[in-house]
Chain A
C-alpha cells in the first residue's frame, strides 16, 4: 500500500507525510528515547569551507557555514530514515543511479590504462579507414539562379560554359548570378562540400574531370559550372600524426570491453527466473513499434 501511494503525484504528499510519521513511530517503538548520533568531523567542516571558497572566492561567514552544516545534518537524518523505511527499494531513480555508478567504475579503471605504441599501431592498422586523411578537393564554380533565369537556365548555362572553356582565366566573380557561397574552395573534404551544396552536387563533383570547366552540375540552389583544379586522394596516416585520436578510440573500446566483462562476471552469479513470454503479446507490440 505504501508503495502505491508513493507512486502517486505530489498532491498526496500531505497524506504520505502523515503516514510516514505513523509508520516511523511504530518502527521506532520503545527505542524512542535513545539518541542517535551524527558526527560532523573537522574534515567535514573543512570540506564545506573549501567547496564554498572555490565557488564564491571568499570564506563563508559563520552563518553561511552553519547553514551548510545544518543542511548536511538534515540530509543525513532524512537519508538514514529513508533507508530505514526502505524507501530506496523499488525506486527507479535510485536503482538507475547506482547502476550507472557501477559503469563509471569500469570507465575510471580503463582510464588508467596506458597503451604502448605497439598496441596503438595494431589498433590503427585494424581501423585504418577511420583515421586516414580524407580526400580533398579544390574547385571554383559559377552559379546560375533558376528563379532569375527561368526557362533560359539550361541555354544560359551552355553559353557560359563555352565562354569559360575558351577563356578560363577570366574573373569568375563577375560571371553568373550571386550566391551566398564562396566562388572558390580549396582543400575541402567532400563532407564539407556536401554540407554547403548538398549531396547531389558533391557526388557530381567527384566525377568531374580535373583541370577544365565542366557542367552544369545541379544543386539545391540551381546549376553550377565547375572547375575542379585539384583532387588529392585520401592517404593513410602514421601513428604519430593521430596518436591522441587513436588512443581515445582504443580507450573507448577497452572501456566497453571492461564494462561488458564486468557485467558478464556478475551475471554469471545470478540465476534468473523469468515467467514465460507470451509470444502473441510480443508480436503485437513489435507491430505497433513499426
Chain B
C-alpha cells in the first residue's frame, strides 16, 4: 500500500478546466428520435444542513447508489431504502448555504497531508490508529490560523467533494449525473429557491453562489452569466412557487422595477425550466385560479416556509399556469416573456432517495422513514406540522427527450425545453405542433415527419401563414408496470386585448368515451380498494394518441399550449401506509389520486 502525493494539483484538476474525456461518450447508445430519460435534479443528502438535523445519515455517494438501484440506510430507525426501478440520471443538489459553513474545514488539508500519520490511522492496531487521530486533532486545532486557507488551490471545500462524487458516478450511456446545488433564497419565509445545474465539469467554480451572498434572483443570474463567461455551462430551475406568496412570478423584479424586455431575456436565459411538482406540492394551478378545471385540486401544499405551518394566502404569482398567461401578455406588450418556462417534475427529498414511487414512499426527511411517523406524525410534532407532512406528495420526476443518456444530450434537451414533468410515475408523452400534420399521420415513422415538419414541446411555433390553425400531434404511454391512462388534455392560454384566458380541451379519452354535448366527459371510474390499497387496470387505456387542431385559433392572438395526461385513480401513499398500519385511510386526505404528466408548452407568437 502506498500513498499519493496528494495536494493542490490534484484539486485544481478536479475543480476546473479539465477537458471532457471525449472517448467516454463514444459508447453511449444513441436514439435518432430521442428517448425519454427519467431522473431527478433536486436531491438533498446529509451535506444539507436541514437534512442532517432531520436525521439523514447518507451522503451524495449513497444518493447516486440509490438511484442506480442499490439499497442505502434510511435513518429514522426505519428500513433501508431501495428504488424498485432505477433511474436514468440523477443529481445531488445540497443547499449551498450549508456547504458554505463547511468550507471552514479547508484547513484540515495541511495536517492530513502528513503521510506517516495517515498510514498510522489506517493501521490495524487500534491503539496506533487512535494515537494518530489524536495527533491530527491537535494539529488541526493548532493549525487553525493557517494562512493557506486563502489559497483556493489548497482548500478542499466540501463542494469539491460534491463535484468529485458526481463525476465519479457519471457513466455515459448508462447513468448520467450532474454537478449542482440549491440556492436557498427565502425572503420573509417565502420560497424563491433555485436548483443550479452544470452541464459538465468544465469551468465549475470552486464555490457555489449562495443566498448568503445575495437572496435576489437577479444577483444569482448575474453570477451565472459571469461563470458562463468563464467557460462553464449552467442553468437554474426555480421551484415551489406555491410557497412563495406570489413572489415567484411577479410583475416586477425583486427591486420593484417593472418587467422589461431585458429582464425577461435575462431570466429565461438563465432559468429555462420550472419544477412544477415535488414533495412540497404541485404548482401547476389552483382551484381559485382555474375554477373550471376539475382536476386543479391536485396534491396542493399551501404553506410558506416558516416553522409554524403558516398557510399560504396568495395564489396569483404562485402557480405556473396563471404566470404563463401573464407571460404571453407581457410578450404581447413588447416586454418579452419572463415566464417562458419548460416543465420538469422533481423530488426535494432530504434523505438521498427521491422516493418517487407512490407505493414505495419513505418521506421527505429521514425522521419520516416509518409509516407510523408519516401518517400519525413524528413524536413531539405539533398537529399542524404533522398535517404538513401528511400533505406532502411523493414528489415528481423529470422526463427528458434526449438523443442519448449523457450529460451532453440531456443538458441540450433541458436547454431546448424538450422536457415534461410527472407527479412521480414514468409515463411517456410526445407533443409536437405544426401546420402540416395529417389526421392519420400516427403510424410508421411518424416521428421523422413530426420533427421535420413541426416543433417539439418547449418550442416556438412560427406565425401562421394565411391564418391556418395549428395542429398538434400527441402520444402518451403508461409506465410499463404502472396504471392505465384516463385522458389527454390540451391546456390553452391566450391574450385577447388586455385580458388573458385559459381553456382545457379533452383531446383523447380512454375506453372509447366521447365528450358530451355539454362539454363534459364521463369519469373514467375508480377501481381503488381502500382496504387493500390496490387498483385494477381494467379501466383506462395503455396508450392514447391524437392529432388535434385548435378549433378556436385566432392568428393575431398570442397563445400557449401544453399537454396534461391523467392516469386512472391509484392509491395515494397515505393509503398504502394506512393498510400497512392496519388502520382505515385518514378522512382528511384523498384515498386515491390521478397521477399525471405535464409537458413544456409550445408558444404561438403572431407576426408583428
* Same complex: yes
Using a CB–CB distance below 8 Å, which chain A residues touch chain B? 9-10, 41, 43, 46-47, 50-51, 54-57, 92-93, 96-97, 100-101, 104-106, 108-116, 119, 145-147, 173-174, 178-182, 187, 191, 194-201, 219-222, 244, 248, 252, 254, 257-258, 261-262, 264-266, 268-269, 288-289
Chain A residues, CB < 8 A from B145: 41, 43
B86 at the interface (CB under 8 A from A): yes
- B227 closest partner in A (C-beta): A57
Contact B444 A174 (CB under 8 A): yes
Chain A residues, CB < 8 A from B287: none
Known contacts: A196-B480, A266-B130. The answer to whether A112 contacts B86 by CB under 8 A is: no
Contact B481 A199 (CB under 8 A): yes
B213 at the interface (CB under 8 A from A): yes
Contact A261 B129 (CB under 8 A): yes
Contact A254 B122 (CB under 8 A): yes
Chain B residues, CB < 8 A from A179: 477, 543
Chain A residues, CB < 8 A from B226: 56-57
- B219 closest partner in A (C-beta): A56
Contact B542 A220 (CB under 8 A): yes
Known contacts: A10-B307, A146-B542, A262-B121. The answer to whether A119 contacts B477 by CB under 8 A is: no
Contact A100 B52 (CB under 8 A): yes
Can you list 27 contacts pairing A with B, beta carbon distance less than 8 Å?
A: A10-B307, A54-B206, A55-B209, A55-B223, A56-B223, A92-B53, A101-B105, A106-B121, A108-B112, A111-B6, A112-B4, A112-B6, A112-B113, A113-B3, A114-B2, A114-B4, A115-B1, A173-B445, A178-B543, A178-B545, A187-B29, A191-B86, A194-B480, A248-B168, A261-B129, A268-B126, A289-B77
Chain A residues, CB < 8 A from B109: 108
Chain A residues, CB < 8 A from B442: 178
A29 CB to nearest B CB, Å: 29
B7 CB to nearest A CB, Å: 10
Chain B residues, CB < 8 A from A201: 480
B170 CB to nearest A CB, Å: 11
Looking at the complex, which one of B69, B150, B480, B545 makes contact with A43 (CB distance below 8 Å)?
B150
Chain B residues, CB < 8 A from A101: 105
B308 at the interface (CB under 8 A from A): yes
Contact A221 B105 (CB under 8 A): no
| Bound complex: CA A101 to CA B105 (Å) | 8
| Bound complex: CA A244 to CA B21 (Å) | 14
Chain A residues, CB < 8 A from B443: 178
| Bound complex: CA A173 to CA B77 (Å) | 52
Among all A-B residue pairs, the 8 with the closest Cβ atoms: A198-B480, A265-B130, A47-B150, A180-B477, A265-B126, A43-B147, A114-B4, A220-B480
- B140 closest partner in A (C-beta): A105
Docked complex: B458-498 residues within 8 A CB-CB of A:
475-482
B56 CB to nearest A CB, Å: 10
B428 at the interface (CB under 8 A from A): yes
Known contacts: A46-B150, A54-B152, A54-B207. The answer to whether A180 contacts B130 by CB under 8 A is: no
| Bound complex: CA A260 to CA B197 (Å) | 34
Known contacts: A180-B430, A180-B543, A195-B86. The answer to whether A264 contacts B475 by CB under 8 A is: no
Contact A265 B3 (CB under 8 A): no
| Bound complex: CA A96 to CA B105 (Å) | 15
Which has the most chain A C-beta neighbours within 10 Å: B122, B444, B477? Answer: B122
A76 CB to nearest B CB, Å: 13
Contact A119 B122 (CB under 8 A): no
| Bound complex: CA A43 to CA B127 (Å) | 38
B288 at the interface (CB under 8 A from A): no
- A43 closest partner in B (C-beta): B147
Using a CB–CB distance below 8 Å, which chain B residues touch chain A? 1-4, 6, 29, 31, 46, 52-53, 61, 69, 77-78, 85-86, 105, 108-109, 112-113, 115, 118, 121-122, 124, 126-127, 129-130, 133, 136, 145, 147, 149-152, 156, 158, 168, 205-207, 209, 213, 223, 226, 229-230, 307-308, 370, 372, 428, 430, 442-445, 475-482, 510, 537, 541-543, 545
Chain B residues, CB < 8 A from A258: 121-122
Looking at the complex, which one of A41, A43, A197, A262 makes contact with B129 (CB distance below 8 Å)?
A262
- A195 closest partner in B (C-beta): B85
Looking at the complex, which one of A41, A104, A108, A113 makes contact with B1 (CB distance below 8 Å)?
A113
A189 CB to nearest B CB, Å: 8
B23 CB to nearest A CB, Å: 13
Contact A116 B2 (CB under 8 A): yes
| Bound complex: CA A101 to CA B108 (Å) | 11
Looking at the complex, which one of A10, A111, A221, A268 makes contact with B543 (CB distance below 8 Å)?
A221
Contact A104 B105 (CB under 8 A): yes
Contact A93 B108 (CB under 8 A): no
| Bound complex: CA A155 to CA B300 (Å) | 47
Contact B61 A252 (CB under 8 A): yes
- A196 closest partner in B (C-beta): B480
- A261 closest partner in B (C-beta): B129
Contact A195 B480 (CB under 8 A): yes
| Bound complex: CA A47 to CA B149 (Å) | 7
Contact A55 B213 (CB under 8 A): yes
Chain B residues, CB < 8 A from A219: 480
Which has the most chain A C-beta neighbours within 10 Å: B308, B445, B542? Answer: B542
B64 CB to nearest A CB, Å: 11
B549 CB to nearest A CB, Å: 20
Chain B residues, CB < 8 A from A222: 542
| Bound complex: CA A145 to CA B69 (Å) | 31
| Bound complex: CA A116 to CA B145 (Å) | 36
Known contacts: A54-B152, A114-B1, A258-B121. The answer to whether A9 contacts B130 by CB under 8 A is: no
| Bound complex: CA A111 to CA B10 (Å) | 12
Contact B481 A264 (CB under 8 A): no
| Bound complex: CA A187 to CA B85 (Å) | 20
